[in-house]
Amino acid sequence: MKNKPSNIRLGIFGFGCVGQGLYDVLQTIEQAGIEVAPICVKDKEKPRSLPASAFTYNPQDLLQDESITLFAELISDADEAYSIVKQALVAGKTIVSANKKMLATHLPELIKLQQNYNGTLLYEAAVGGSIPIIRTLESYYSSETLQRVSGILNGSSNYILSKMESEGLSYSLALQQAQKLGFAEADPTLDVGGFDTVNKLSLIAAHAFGVTVKPELILRFGIDVVGEEDLEAAATIEARIRLVAFAEVNPFNELNLHVLPTFVPAQRELYHVVNETNGVTIDPVFAGEQFIKGRGAGSHPTGSAVWADVSAAISGYRYAYRKTKIKTIVLNQDKKITIYLRCPGGASLPEAAWENLVKIQETGEATSFTADISVKELQSIQTDLAANHIFIAQIAAEQAVNIALKLKQKAEVAYS
Ligand SMILES: NC(=O)c1ccc[n+]([C@@H]2O[C@H](COP(=O)([O-])OP(=O)(O)OC[C@H]3O[C@@H](n4cnc5c(N)ncnc54)[C@H](OP(=O)(O)O)[C@@H]3O)[C@@H](O)[C@H]2O)c1
Residue 227: CATH number of its domain:
3.30.360.10
Ligand 1 atom closest to 301 (CA) = 3
Q: Are 131 and 294 in contact (CB under 8 A)?
A: yes
Q: Is 76 in the pocket of ligand 1 (CB under 6 A)?
A: yes
Q: Are residues 149 and 115 in the same domain?
A: no
Q: Are residues 217 and 345 in the same domain?
A: yes
Residues 102-131 have a mean pLDDT of: 97
DSSP-derived secondary structure letter, 364:
S
Residues 398-406 have a mean pLDDT of: 93
399 Cβ contact partners less than 8 Å away, ≥ 6 residues apart: 237, 239, 263, 265, 338
Count of domains for the chain: 2
| 401 SS3 class | helix
Question: 76: CA distance to ligand 1 center in Å?
Answer: 3
Query: H-helix or E-strand containing 393?
Result: strand 391-394
307, part of any domain: no
- Give the residue numbers annotated as catalytic, written as ranges: 200
Amino acid symbol at 342:
R
> How far is the C-alpha of 22 from the C-alpha of 7, rounded, in Å?
18
Q: Are residues 31 and 157 in the same domain?
A: no
14, part of any domain: yes
Q: Is 185 in the pocket of ligand 1 (CB under 6 A)?
A: no
Q: Are residues 43 and 106 in the same domain?
A: yes
Q: Is 75 in the pocket of ligand 1 (CB under 6 A)?
A: yes
pLDDT band (50, 70, 90) for residue 31: low
Q: Are 371 and 357 in contact (CB under 8 A)?
A: yes
188-201 confidence digits (pLDDT tens): 999 999 999 999 99
Among 65-74, 85-94, 181-190, 297-306, name the one with the lowest average pLDDT.
Answer: 181-190
Q: Are residues 111 and 238 in the same domain?
A: no
> How far is the C-alpha of 256 from the C-alpha of 331, rounded, in Å?
6
302, part of any domain: no
Q: Is 16 in the pocket of ligand 1 (CB under 6 A)?
A: yes
Out of 75, 101, 300, 304, mutate this one to test ligand 1's pocket (max ligand atoms within 8 Å of CB): namely 75
Q: Where are the alpha helices (DSSP H) in 332-371?
A: none
Residue 365, Cβ density class (10 Å: 0-12 exposed, 13-18 middle, ≥19 buried): exposed
Q: Is 74 in the pocket of ligand 1 (CB under 6 A)?
A: yes
Structure confidence at residue 4 (pLDDT): 46
Structure confidence at residue 3 (pLDDT): 45
Q: Which domain holds residue 281?
A: 144-294+327-416
Q: Is 15 in the pocket of ligand 1 (CB under 6 A)?
A: yes
User: Atom 8 of ligand 1 has which residue's CA nearest to it?
Assistant: 98
Q: Are residues 151 and 115 in the same domain?
A: no
41, part of any domain: yes
User: Atom 26 of ligand 1 has which residue's CA nearest to it?
Assistant: 75
Question: 62: CA distance to ligand 1 center in Å?
Answer: 17
Residues 4-19 have a mean pLDDT of: 86
